[in-house]
Structure 1
Amino acid sequence: MVYIKETFPVPKFEHVFRELWIAMWEQQMDLSKPDVMAEVLARHFSAEEVEQVMRAADDPVYKQKLLDNTQKVLGLGAFGAPWMWVRNAKGDAEPFFGSDREEYDESVV
């Protein structure tokens, strides 16, 4: 996503982000598998663009950026997934963890 965010316009990044979210959380697709990731990316990119995005995943520059981003969010207290740092129009921000409904979690077990 770092490569996509740097390379494509914001609306494209946002559409792909949403598509990956749906693929992972709603469609239960395993995005850790390159062929599955490429399939989902192909919903928004040409075959050539998918190849570029997939190549960037192995690029040391983007691997380092991912590590840097990971360290940054860990420093903010991130744990688990999905974890989001949300900022409102006033500039107030706070973290949210996707499984923050303890009563729901307990009822599932």
Structure 2
Amino acid sequence: MPWFALHIRRVYNLAMIGEALLHKRINITLPEETLRLLDRVADKGDRSGLIDRTIKRYVEEIGRANLRRRLKDGYERHSARDLETAEAWFSLDEEASSANKR
């Protein structure tokens, strides 16, 4: 084995040690069409970065959609109670306003 091959392998291994602390290498299987699309939109050498950003954005969007759904369900579930509360406060506000005008 030539000395430079050993050097290149050693440099690569040392470079990967620092990176391994922050990243994990995984193997995934994608349809060829998806891989072509990935290669078309990712900057050269940035497949992992694009996948990372895309997954984070997807999870964020799903989280927002779930929050909206839960809020809507809560609004619908408590709408009658909230209407009764608003009507009760409105009548009290009217009484207080009338008393202040006297």
Larger radius of gyration: 2
TM-score (norm 1): 0.24
**Structure 1 or 2: more helix by fraction:** 2
TM-score (norm 2): 0.25
The one of the two structures with greater contact order (alpha-carbon pairs below 8 A, sep at least 6) is 1
